[in-house]
Structure 1
């Protein structure tokens, strides 16, 4: 998972795990499918224009559109970059952007964006009258869009484009524009004009609520850059920022270092590992003969080796030795991390905060480290009985004290107690899942997907699929490009949502020389105003299907694409007129709410009935099979919750004002041990203390890479899981306990969640605002439907410590 970049230019891309890289070949070409798309669109348009007596053709056209949507993803295609259809005709430009037709034009686009931004900077600095000052917010928002429309695409190109010349151009464009953007973030003149606009009642008095939120976000970003400091203090701030950047890079480089200590393991102890894993270890490891004739393998415990040994090796001493060597981590990474944390504390205190945690949380829902602590402890108190019960069961299974190196081994054995379950994949073809998402969004929000044929040069690889998002009236709301299969030319970004272009009102733009010429395909007119359409790209690393077979997804793949489509729908519906707060441009501890809520829909029997059927027979997915898979996964979910809580608590401690720096090098390991021994994580249970406790000599913090991108904010994913569960219970599903996958309306205590009324409530109170309203206000509004007490709604709207404590007491789904 990757957080939004802060400052003038922001973008969101949420990452998870990757997949195996292969090449896909098949029979039907996308060119042929493109002709079907054009034919279907013509038929659909004709049938829509027919008289009321032509209801049957309209219905048939809708069904044909659904078949085409499914086939767009399920029919195999040829992936050869030399395919005639891929390069045929004059290129329209990447993502339908006329400036992105070649690497050279992409470089020029970066230069043009900087020129446009500089012209807007001049307009801001020249503002004198109340009306000119009032335009400052609009100018900065327009400036941000001008830069992001190129920078965000550059970041996308660097990750997914197969052509190295495009990648080099994107690297150059991104690097130069990033430097320019950082200059803007520390531009004293711009900051002063924002302050003048906000402090002048004749100006700010006419701001809309969203405009005020945009102005506040710019002011906060400037002040986090130390721009309000005296010259000497600001110089120190800049130096600290540079040092933090260097230490962050050094810490991440430390993750790539091979462990410097091998573990001697008798070869016979690897017999329980999968044969291909054991063979890979043998081929990459040194061996020697012991005096008794046994073969000893000098095993290097990297992530791959440690995962399989800890899960499959039956010899406990071997598991312990591998665990300790693996968790010892990189001493250099520890040194870099401690330097990074020290400089972050100094930076925060330089701008007037008690700690980096206080600085990072100032504009988040949590607002302060104390509020985060209240949330985490409330959640831990709720979960302790669950994870203690799981540990007791593991203890009983082993018949002795359980230690950290027993976890994966014992859990894997218990997961297989009932034998292997039949695969769900035959019921979950990619085309059926995308069709199910379209049907779901139509029922909830009145919007759906429409398959679209890309123009020459619009996409970067033949496997990319293009979707139009349209409303009930057939009006275009935005575009989604889906690049979902693993390939060698793709960076290991896992699953990601890239905002290539934000929704924004453009008819009131400030005219400047060299300003963007919005192409007709990207702009629509609504109620006399013109809006730039949002464009997002979804990236996944799904396994490439076998020849002649549609892509068949695992249950994890299904949850992944539902999750990422939650972000995409936020971008599509969060059109509030301003770039800087559009869609997913909202606080990091609120941005995951829509996507995690989508995971609840993925597990609902009512939603599964929309799409889950066998790709050969169309037989519906047996819900009993889903129930068994869900039960198997939930059996040990409390352990995953414990791990997330621990990491969130450690993140908070590392970013507090008490860093134990005076105790000398290695202090981060002592903090790690303190957190692991906190009573909130085992509640006095001896078994839990043994299972979760600190292991002397380990330095797990050296592997905690999220400390770089999510400093003091790692709690956010847990926080949004709880918020999503509450909205699922109180808005979409009633006050039931979470027992999904039981057929029948209301039999599971949960009515049909496919409620347009509930969908409209969530759309209007959460999605449509983007980042343009205090998230606590949005949360209070969406929950204020008669199922939550007035006192609790009032506490939530205030968003103080009582609100965080209340959220910590809410039921955590899947526990």
Structure 2
């Protein structure tokens, strides 16, 4: 077993072994014709970002190596090229006799559009140049219009229908091909293509309206509220931005110690906006109409087809059972917070909805002394990247190498490109790491698919390309970038998504990597959080960047223990959000306002009182992207917890389990039913009670202490 690079100083046997292993790998890659312009991943992140570029004789490549994208105007060129290919593929699909080739053509059609749309979807929010962002946004809209037209192309639909309607032909398809064909058919049917002309046109109109309302609602979730400054005492007012005669409230300010400031922020920021309320209720109403028009009893039934849960009834069973198991623990958590509030503010000890984030943080800090600044020196970015490298190598036979980029290939000089290399299979794909803060960059950690993997008609494999976007601070002077424990965990989380994309070696890009049901897509990333919390893993890389001292075991133990403080109340809050989402998208012709539903659901599934004249649902942005699927975070965590305990708890570096994990879960992307993948990994079919039990047991067991005590 190789040690972490931080432990392998020059001249050590381990360092020599690591260099020799890398030399053999590079020699093998040269034999396969794979690029060797690589350097160690840790070195790429060890100093203040200064882009390393290949000259390529002065040639300037486009973004991600796409030649057309060396300038913003190139998006139109790439878009027109994709549309010309689309026309040819549509014609070919319609004239090809039904069979497996039909599905391959459909996938190539999807790929030609996704390779522009997915790339543009990232560029429009992340590129620092406004001209690139605008061109990308226009490309997204154009490709989206084409997709809408294709989803209502009757001749194209009939070519797929002939394949699935012929029982002998359908049975001749292998399981992955049949599933992909059914997924394409589902895309057609949710657009209403199986309906008569009048209803089909109605479905198209509803889809367009839903897109517009979704965009409007999403924008409204972040719009600040304002109040006359004379209405707030000066000691509260000074915590907020003031414009003229108004105080502007742009968030909940949940971490501010002053109870009155948090209360003011909560009541003002969540004060209902009539336009936003109408927008949400119109969005929910149109989703309900569309679902019924295309043959589903509710929007939730439509959204959950093909997921782990399968039906809204199963989701509600899961949420209600989890809520029952959490109820006593949640009450205990609220009592602890109430006690802390009474200690700090005896004049007003009633626990209110604006209190839990602050008082749970106070309790964690008081009990465990987990000040982030104590941990940061042990989590330099370069050490964390080498830690991931060691983990992936031991678990999956994979190594990460930094690769020099060409001029124009990346959108910012501090972006790093990683080659993902398997010890036997060679190059698997590329990860672009956009890790550092910059002006105008969205404040969110996320994973973007730029190009999906797929098997082409000539037998070659189209390598996947993804971007990981974080918001890490730039290093100061000659010091390395230092991560808080939360940042380190987020890095592991997002790298879990990246490995899903790299190892999802599907035949079809339509189901590559993270293109799978929402309640399964978060499993690999959440599983990585368990690795990030295990001392045996952390001990491989966490070293003080100045002294080389390893992170003490008791500091890791305190960090893990602190996560359990008020964790039941945090989970109960997620149950409340997920339940509200289900009710909004269930059997509800909105006979009551969404605020009345919120009040009732909050009292039943959370426990803290509803605050009059507030409407938290109008800030619930996940209702757009996760409509009827917000429960996915909880269900994915339940699955990840079971996989960790059953397969990796005894040995997080178990190669046999790593191979099973790749074979049974990662390799299939969305090309296999998620429950079958879970069953293959766990070697049993888990029940709802198993999922609930896994989540609840996470609140009790201290895996870190267990392993420290067993040494």
Indicate yes or no: 2:602 matched with 1:652: no
TM-score, reference length from structure 1: 0.77
Cα distance, 1:458 vs structure 2: 2.0
Cα distance, 1:471 vs structure 2: 1.0
Q: State the partner residue of 1:759.
A: 658
1:538, 1:530 → 2: CA distance? 26
SS of the equivalent of 1:103 reads coil
Q: State the partner residue of 2:692.
A: 808
Q: State the partner residue of 1:333.
A: 276
Indicate yes or no: 2:404 matched with 1:478: no
Q: State the partner residue of 1:34.
A: none
2:273, 2:530 → 1: CA distance? 38
Superposition RMSD on alpha carbons, in Å? Answer: 2.7
Of 254-263 and 554-563, more deviation after overlay is shown by 254-263
Q: State the partner residue of 1:140.
A: 106
Q: State the partner residue of 1:267.
A: 234
Q: State the partner residue of 2:7.
A: none
Equivalent position to 1:312, from 252, 257, 264:
257
SS of the equivalent of 1:811 reads helix
8 Å CA contact 2:660, 2:681 repeated in 1: yes
CA offsets, 1:206-233, max 9 Å, x none?
3111111110100011101111011111
Summarize the alignment of residues 235-274 of structure 1 with structure 2, pairs less than 5 Å apart: 235-262=201-228, 264-268=231-235
Q: State the partner residue of 2:354.
A: 405
1:285, 1:445 → 2: CA distance? 59
2:360, 2:301 → 1: CA distance? 38
Q: State the partner residue of 1:30.
A: none
Cα distance, 1:343 vs structure 2: 1.1
2:236, 2:509 → 1: CA distance? 58
CA offsets, 1:266-306, max 9 Å, x none?
33457xxxxxxx4x6375474xxxxxxxxxxx644331xx4
Question: Given the superposition, is the C-alpha separation of residues 200 and 491 from structure 1 closer, same or farther in structure 2, using an over 3 Å criterion?
Answer: same
Indicate yes or no: 2:436 matched with 1:506: no
Cα distance, 1:386 vs structure 2: 1.6
SS of the equivalent of 2:159 reads helix
1:581, 1:322 → 2: CA distance? 43
Question: Given the superposition, is the C-alpha separation of residues 140 and 649 from structure 1 closer, same or farther in structure 2, using an over 3 Å criterion?
Answer: same
SS of the equivalent of 2:45 reads helix
CA offsets, 1:730-757, max 9 Å, x none?
1111xxxxxxxxxxxxxxxxx2211001
Cα distance, 1:550 vs structure 2: 0.9
Cα distance, 1:239 vs structure 2: 1.9
Q: State the partner residue of 2:482.
A: 552
SS of the equivalent of 2:240 reads helix
Equivalent position to 2:632, from 691, 700, 716:
716
2:671, 2:265 → 1: CA distance? 49
Indicate yes or no: 2:346 matched with 1:396: no
Of 566-575 and 473-482, more deviation after overlay is shown by 473-482
Cα distance, 1:356 vs structure 2: 0.8
CA offsets, 1:363-398, max 9 Å, x none?
222111110001111211222222111112223334
SS of the equivalent of 2:401 reads strand
Q: State the partner residue of 1:199.
A: 165
Indicate yes or no: 2:227 matched with 1:281: no
1:669, 1:387 → 2: CA distance? 24
8 Å CA contact 1:486, 1:541 repeated in 2: yes
Equivalent position to 2:43, from 66, 71, 76:
71
8 Å CA contact 2:285, 2:590 repeated in 1: no
Q: State the partner residue of 2:13.
A: none
SS of the equivalent of 1:480 reads strand
2:543, 2:358 → 1: CA distance? 34
1:809, 1:634 → 2: CA distance? 16
8 Å CA contact 2:224, 2:269 repeated in 1: no
Question: Given the superposition, is the C-alpha separation of residues 761 and 331 from structure 1 closer, same or farther in structure 2, using an over 3 Å criterion?
Answer: same
SS of the equivalent of 2:134 reads helix
Q: State the partner residue of 1:514.
A: none
Q: State the partner residue of 1:440.
A: 391
Summarize the alignment of residues 452-531 of structure 1 with structure 2, pairs less than 5 Å apart: 452-473=403-424, 475-488=426-439, 490-492=440-442, 494-508=444-458, 529-531=459-461
1:49, 1:660 → 2: CA distance? 65
8 Å CA contact 2:39, 2:402 repeated in 1: no
Cα distance, 1:693 vs structure 2: 2.1
SS of the equivalent of 2:374 reads coil
Q: State the partner residue of 2:345.
A: none
Question: Given the superposition, is the C-alpha separation of residues 472 and 187 from structure 1 closer, same or farther in structure 2, using an over 3 Å criterion?
Answer: same
Q: State the partner residue of 1:772.
A: 671
Cα distance, 1:498 vs structure 2: 1.1
Equivalent position to 1:674, from 600, 621, 634:
600
Q: State the partner residue of 1:105.
A: 74
Summarize the alignment of residues 680-699 of structure 1 with structure 2, pairs less than 5 Å apart: 680-681=605-606, 689=607, 692-699=608-615
8 Å CA contact 1:356, 1:656 repeated in 2: yes
1:570, 1:256 → 2: CA distance? 31
- Considering only CA atoms, is the larger Rg found in Structure 1 or Structure 2? 1
2:138, 2:579 → 1: CA distance? 39
Indicate yes or no: 2:149 matched with 1:183: yes
8 Å CA contact 2:48, 2:474 repeated in 1: no
Question: Given the superposition, is the C-alpha separation of residues 41 and 200 from structure 1 closer, same or farther in structure 2, using an over 3 Å criterion?
Answer: farther
SS of the equivalent of 2:519 reads coil
1:184, 1:74 → 2: CA distance? 48
1:49, 1:370 → 2: CA distance? 55
CA offsets, 1:65-103, max 9 Å, x none?
998321111112347xxx997897202332233343333
Unaligned stretches of 5+ residues in structure 2: 1-17, 29-35, 343-348, 700-711
SS of the equivalent of 1:635 reads coil
CA offsets, 1:402-436, max 9 Å, x none?
22233344334333425563521111111111111
Unaligned stretches of 5+ residues in structure 1: 1-39, 51-63, 271-277, 287-297, 509-528, 682-688, 734-750, 785-792, 797-802
Question: Given the superposition, is the C-alpha separation of residues 226 and 474 from structure 1 closer, same or farther in structure 2, using an over 3 Å criterion?
Answer: closer
Q: State the partner residue of 2:381.
A: 430
Of 40-49 and 443-452, more deviation after overlay is shown by 40-49
SS of the equivalent of 1:74 reads coil
Equivalent position to 2:59, from 73, 90, 103:
90
Indicate yes or no: 2:194 matched with 1:228: yes
Q: State the partner residue of 2:15.
A: none
8 Å CA contact 1:428, 1:552 repeated in 2: yes
CA offsets, 1:779-812, max 9 Å, x none?
111101xxxxxxxx35x4xxxxxx3344233334
SS of the equivalent of 2:225 reads coil
Question: Given the superposition, is the C-alpha separation of residues 187 and 473 from structure 1 closer, same or farther in structure 2, using an over 3 Å criterion?
Answer: same
